[in-house]
Amino acid sequence: MLLLREFMQTFSPNIKNDTLSGLTVALALVPEAVAFAFVAGVHPLTGLYAAFMVGLITALIGGRPGMISGATGALAVVMVSLVAEAERDFGSGMGPQYLFAAVVLMGAIQMAAGALKLGKFIRIVPYPVMLGFVNGLALVIFLAQLPQLQSFTPEGKWGWTEGVWLQGSELYVMLGLILATMFITHYLPKMTKAIPSALAGILVVSLAAWGLQLDTKTVGDLASIAGGLPEFAAPAVPMTLETLWFILPYSIIFAAIGLIESLLTITVIDEMTNTRGRGNKECVAQGTANVVTGFFGGMGGCAMIGQSMINVSSGGRGRLSGIAAALFLLSFILFASPLIEQIPIAALIGVMFMVVIGTFEWSSFRILRKVPKHDAFVLILVSAVTVVTDLAIAVVVGVIVAALVFAWEHAKHISARTRIQENGAKVYELFGPLFFGSVANFKELFEPENDPDVVIIEFRNSRVADHSALEAIDSIAERYLALGKELHLRHLSEDCRGMLKKAGNLCDVNVIEDPNYRVAVDELA
């Protein structure tokens, strides 16, 4: 009974809230999926099918109930390169087929990452990087809405040529509907929570636009979303090594982007809901979803922080919310496309603007002057790189910069206190870690020419961390050996002694057992 109760809590803590929030998310998914398909250079249904299949599978077996997955811009901006290159190298119409093959391989890589428990490495992402990721993604969501404020002329198969910004009455109507949606979304929860405020905003603004016969852009202006069920079809590409080498680099990039965005979105939702998702399980779920999607004509996907924020803020906390969103989206494609295509784009933009406001960490402005300057720099850097490139690169850059700053700061912490023992030996008592960043300062601590014949390096308050540290110790030993002096290492921790012994002739460790060794390790207290 306890297991059944826990399962039901995970599946749906509140059936009504999960169902209505799923409907809200599905409405918001339509223009996003269509737009990302345009970006990738594939048919709009390719994006919609991906949103349905990835969303459904991850909702069923993923590690974060309430999180929404689907076709994303972060993947689309990389996919367009693959599609264009495949069209050029393998012929017209082959771009989508190679994309599907790459998505299948992407999924396999993600499943392997989950099986190898690599999801835990998201823990190494520092908090300033997390803040930068959230703020940068909020800006990306905001900027993604701006093209809808332009007029456009359909061109080619599945794209459009951007025109000028809307002007006059058309612009005022669009802005008025956006503000009305935002107003309802913000203030309705203060009066009632019986219906998700975002859904209410979309419905009220849509009814107003239809009733007043307002001339404004609708979902149907982007593309028709009518279609059938996705059909199974293996990617029509040659099963050769040439194909593998062509898609492999893209698949690795897709997999990395997808996992980073998904795992960071899990972290954001964990903080919002005071619960904890399972990263490795989500990796497997994302991989499974992408393998299936690739075989059913979808462009692949990953977690969507914008839609996930809509879902959670609308009360969707269980798996049912994601399942409902996927099924509602499929029903739009199969049965309700004429109705959905009449929804004003302005209503969906208003919802996404509220997501931007809710996602952006406004407190980061307040803390910028209170945190260390390097943390503030990392926060701003990650936000900027997320906007200019993509979030995967931004997170990697942020982690590297944070690590380098950490290394630089700790490199300055190595120091030594010296004393002369009764037997005339000089002791260097080290303080701080010995690693690649601190080896230069470590070497400057010693005076081999002026030291007595016996020197002891005391590691009680220090530790040897890496290969660079071993090389530094060996370098110091050579300097003392060249002067005919003896060097001892004392009070090394167990892991440090093991590291020295494994190093072999990189750093000699015991003068008693072999007279050719240059460094003695005193293992007694």
Strands, sheet with 415-420, edge to edge from the N-terminal-most edge strand: 415-420, 426-431, 454-461, 486-490, 519-522
Q: Of 360, 354, 343, 328, which Cα lies nearest the Cα of 198? A: 354
**pLDDT of the residue at 284:** 95
Residue 56: pLDDT band with limits 50, 70, 90: very high
pLDDT of residue 53: 96
Query: How far apart (Å, rounded) are the C-alpha atoms in residues 252 and 295?
Result: 18
What per-residue confidence (pLDDT) applies to 524? 45
| pLDDT score of 390 more than 80 | no
Which range is least confidently modeled, 270-284, 388-402, 497-511? 497-511
Task: Provide the percentage of residues in the chain whose pLDDT is more than 70.
Answer: 89
As a whole number of angstroms, the distance between CA 478 and CA 335 comes to 80
Element (H, E) at 252: helix 241-273
- Between residues 57 and 458, which one has the greater pLDDT? 57
Alpha-carbon torsion, ordered 379, 381, 382, 384, to 10 deg? 120
Tens-place pLDDT, residues 21-49 = 999 999 988 888 887 887 788 888 999 99
Average pLDDT of the residues in 280-300? 95
Whose CA is closest to 383, among 145, 146, 138? Answer: 138
Statement: residue 516 has pLDDT above 60: no
pLDDT of residue 508: 43
When pLDDT is averaged across residues 47-65 and rounded to a whole number, the result is 94
The pLDDT value recorded for residue 507 is: 44
Q: Is the dihedral of CA 226, 229, 230, 232 positive or negative?
A: negative
- For 217-237, what is the mean pLDDT? 88
pLDDT value of position 511: 33
Q: Which residues pair with 456 in a beta bridge?
A: 427, 488
Q: Which run of H or E residues covers position 446?
A: none
Provide the residue type at 52 as one letter.
F
Q: What is the pLDDT confidence band of residue 503, given thresholds at 50, 70 and 90?
A: low
pLDDT of 472 higher than 80: yes
Q: What average pLDDT does the structure give for the chain?
A: 84
* Per-residue exposure over 443-462, b if at least 16 CB sit within 10 Å of its own CB, e if not: eeebebeebeebbbbbbeeb
Q: Give the residue range(s) of CATH 3.30.750.24 domains in the chain.
A: 415-522
Single-letter code of the amino acid located at 360: F
Report the C-alpha gap between 519 and 517 in whole angstroms. Answer: 6
Q: 127-145 and 345-359 helices cross at what angle (nearest 10)?
A: 160
Topology at the third CATH level for domain 415-522: Transcription Regulator spoIIAA (3.30.750)
Q: Which residue has the higher pLDDT, 494 or 79?
A: 79
pLDDT score at 9: 62
Amino acid at 256: A
Of 67-76, 158-167, 270-279, 434-443, minimum mean pLDDT range: 158-167
Is 286 within 8 Å of 61 (Cβ atoms)? no
* Backbone φ, ψ for residue 27 (5° rounding): -65, -40
**Tokens at 318, concatenated:** 């269980």
Secondary structure class of 509 (helix, strand, coil)? coil
The pLDDT assigned to 153 comes to 56
**Residue 57 pLDDT:** 96
**37 vs 293: CA distance, rounded Å:** 14
Percentage of the chain beyond pLDDT 90 is 34
Nearest residue to 139 (alpha-carbon basis) of 375, 376, 390: 390
Range scoring the smallest mean pLDDT among 164-168, 297-301, 501-505: 501-505
> Beta-carbon neighbour count of residue 9 at 10 Å?
12
pLDDT level of residue 156 (50, 70, 90 thresholds): very low
> Which range, of 26-35, 39-48, 127-136, 390-399, averages the lowest pLDDT?
390-399
* DSSP calls for 345-358: HHHHHHHHHHHHHH
At residue 4, does pLDDT exceed 70? no
241-273 vs 95-115: helix axis angle to the nearest 10? 60
**CA gap 518, 511 in Å, rounded:** 6
What per-residue confidence (pLDDT) applies to 34?
A: 83
**Residues 6 or more apart whose Cβ sits within 8 Å of residue 210:** 342
Q: Whole-angstrom Cα distance, residue 423 to residue 421?
A: 5
Q: What confidence score (pLDDT) does residue 500 get?
A: 64
Q: pLDDT at residue 238 above 50?
A: yes
Mean pLDDT, rounded, for 68-88? 88
Q: Does the structure show a pLDDT above 90 at 205?
A: yes
Strands 486-490 and 519-522 come out as parallel
8 Å CB contact between 256 and 78: no
Compute, in degrees rounded to 10, the torsion defined by CA atoms 423, 426, 431, 435: -120
What crossing angle do the helices spanning 44-61 and 319-331 adopt, rounded to 10°? 150
Residues 77 and 73: their CA atoms lie apart, in Å, by 6
DSSP at 166: P
Digit-coded pLDDT (tens) for 298-357? 999 999 988 898 899 888 888 999 999 999 999 999 999 898 989 998 998 898 888 888
Residue 382 buriedness (CB in 10 A; 0-12 / 13-18 / 19+): buried
Distance (Å, whole) CA 307 – CA 69:
8
> Per mean pLDDT, which range of 27-31, 110-114, 167-171, 406-410 is the poorest?
406-410
Determine the pLDDT at residue 486: 85
**pLDDT band of 128, cuts 50, 70, 90:** confident
The distance from CA 366 to its chain's CA centroid, rounded to whole angstroms, is 25
Higher local confidence (pLDDT), 502 or 123:
123
Q: Cα separation of 276 and 269, whole Å? A: 8
pTM metric for this prediction: 0.76
Residue 240: HSE in the Cβ half-sphere, 13 Å Cα cutoff: 6
Q: Are strands 159-165 and 426-431 parallel, antiparallel or unpaired?
A: unpaired
pLDDT at position 158 over 50 = no
How far is the CA of 358 from the CAs of 7, 70, 130, 362, 381, in angstroms? 30, 20, 15, 9, 21
Which helix (DSSP H) or strand (DSSP E) does residue 69 occupy? strand 69-70
Distance CA 5, CA 199 (A): 29
pLDDT at residue 151 greater than cutoff 80 = no
CB count, 10 Å around CB of 258?
31
Residue 10 banded pLDDT, cuts 50, 70, 90: low
300: left (phi over 0), alpha (psi -120 to 50) or beta: left
